[in-house]
Amino acid sequence: MKKWVNQKRIGSLLLTTVLGLSLAGCGNANTPSTTDAANNNGATGNTAVDPTASPAGTSLSGNLVVYSAGPEGLANKIKEGFEAKTGVKVEMFQGTTGKILARMEAEKSNPAVDVVVLASLPSMQGMKKDDLLLPYKEAVNSDKLVSDWSDPDGSYFSYSASALGIVYNTKKVTTPPTSWSDLGKPEWKGQVNIPDPSLSGSALDFMTGYLSAQGESGWDLFKQYKANGVAMAGANQEALDPVITGAKSVVAAGVDYMAYKAKAAGEPVDIVYPAEGTVISPRPAAIIKTSPNVDNAKAFINYLLSDEAQAMVSKAYLLPGRTDVKAEGRANLDEIKTYDVKWDWMNDHGDEVSTTFTDLFK
C-alpha cells in the first residue's frame, strides 16, 4: 500500500497525534515572486467565470469531505459560503496539520477525504512527492496566486499564509525585542515561550526554515534559548495564552494571525517581525487523488481562490494567497522581510529537526 504521507517530514507529528484525533485548530523565504503585482485594496477576480460552477459543466450535488487545519472560524465561514453557493454538503474535520496527517495515515486502506488544507507547505510538498494529489491546473484565479507558494503543475494551491514573529505582552514589555537573538539575552531570561514543533506545523516550518537558511550554525540560537530559560509550551495557542495573561512576556515564533486577532479583541499583545527576517508559512489546499467527488472538490478549490473567500481570508488576519488582494489590519507580504529558505530541505529534515529540538528542550 502506498504511504499516505512523507514520513521524513511528519514522523514526529504522527507520533504525538495518532492516538488522539480530537478536533482542534492549527496552527519562508525570499519575499516570494508573484504572478500579478497588483496593489489594490480588494479582490478583482475573474467575473466572467463562476468560480463555484461545476468544472464538468453540470449541476453540483452530493457531499464533499474536507480536512482543514483552520483557523476554525475561517474554515467554518468558507464551509458555509461554499454550501450556500453550490448546495453541496461539506463534512469537515478540523485539526492541526499533524492530526490531519495522522488521520489520513489511519484511513489509508479506506480513504475518505476529498480535499485537504494544511498549515505547512513542506508537508504538502511531501504529499505531492508521494503521488497522493490530483492536479487541477485549470483552477479559477490560480494565475493570481503567489507563485512560490503554489505548485506550477496545479497539485496544490496556497490560498493563504501566516508569518512567524515575536509576540509580546504590551503591559509587560515597553521596548520589544527586534531580533531573534535578543531573546537569548539575560533581560529575557525565563520570560519566553516557544511552540513545540512536534505539535505545531508552523513552528516546525519556522525551525526548519531558519536552519535551511542559516545552516548548522543556526542551532546556536536554539541552544541560547534553552540556556536562557525559553520554555517549549505546547502548540501555538498554548504558547500564546500565558503571554496574553501576563504569566510570560514573549512568544518566539508566534503565529501572527493569532496575535492580530487577540489584539483586535482588546488583549494586551502585539507582534514584531525581526529585522533580519522571518519565515512565511503558506497554507496549501489540494485534491486527494482517491477523491470520489472530484467535481465538488474542484469547485471547492475554485471557491477558496474566489473573491468571496479571499476577502474572508483577509478579514481573518491571514495573508491572502492572491496577489491582488490586500490583507486587512495587519502587515502585508511586501512589509515582511523573509529568509531565503529551502523548501525541499525543510521537507526532508522535518522529523530530524523536530526530534533534535524537542530533545534539547526536555
2 in any annotated domain: no
Are 102 and 175 found together in one domain?
no
Are 172 and 232 found together in one domain?
yes
182 in any annotated domain: yes
339 in any annotated domain: no
Are 250 and 305 found together in one domain?
no
- Mapping DSSP onto H, E and C, the string for 80-123 reads HHHHHHHCCEEEEEECCHHHHHHHHHHCCCCCCCCEEECCCHHH
Are 108 and 234 found together in one domain?
no
Q: How confident is the model at residue 51 (pLDDT cuts 50, 70, 90)?
A: low
Q: Are 225 and 252 in contact (CB under 8 A)?
A: yes
Number of domains into which the chain is organized:
2
203 in any annotated domain: yes
Are 77 and 142 found together in one domain?
yes
Question: Do the annotations mark residue 168 as ligand-binding?
Answer: no
Are 112 and 224 found together in one domain?
no
How much is the pLDDT for 34? 41
359 in any annotated domain: no
Q: Where in the chain does DSSP place strands (E)?
A: 63-68, 89-94, 115-117, 133-134, 157-169, 192-194, 231-232, 250-255, 269-272, 280-288, 319-320
Are 211 and 258 found together in one domain?
yes
Q: How confident is the model at residue 201 (pLDDT cuts 50, 70, 90)?
A: confident
Are 120 and 167 found together in one domain?
no
Are 109 and 60 found together in one domain?
yes
340 in any annotated domain: no
Q: Which three cell numbers stand for residue 246?
A: 501576563
How much is the pLDDT for 54? 62
Are 179 and 225 found together in one domain?
yes
Average pLDDT, integer, range 347-351: 92
**In terms of pLDDT, which residue wins out, 11 or 21?**
11
Using CA atoms, how far apart are residues 106 and 104, in angstroms rounded to an integer? 5
Are 249 and 299 found together in one domain?
no
CB within 8 Å of 78: residues ≥ 6 apart = 303, 304, 309, 312
Q: Which domain holds residue 214?
A: 162-279
Residue 44 confidence (pLDDT) above 50: no
How much is the pLDDT for 57? 59
357 in any annotated domain: no
Are 156 and 302 found together in one domain?
yes
Residue 198 confidence (pLDDT) above 60: yes
Pairing of strands 250-255, 192-194: parallel
In the chain the first and final C-alpha atoms are separated, in Å, by: 36
16 in any annotated domain: yes
- Choosing from 263, 279, 295, the residue where a domain stops is 279
> CATH number for the domain including 134?
3.40.190.10
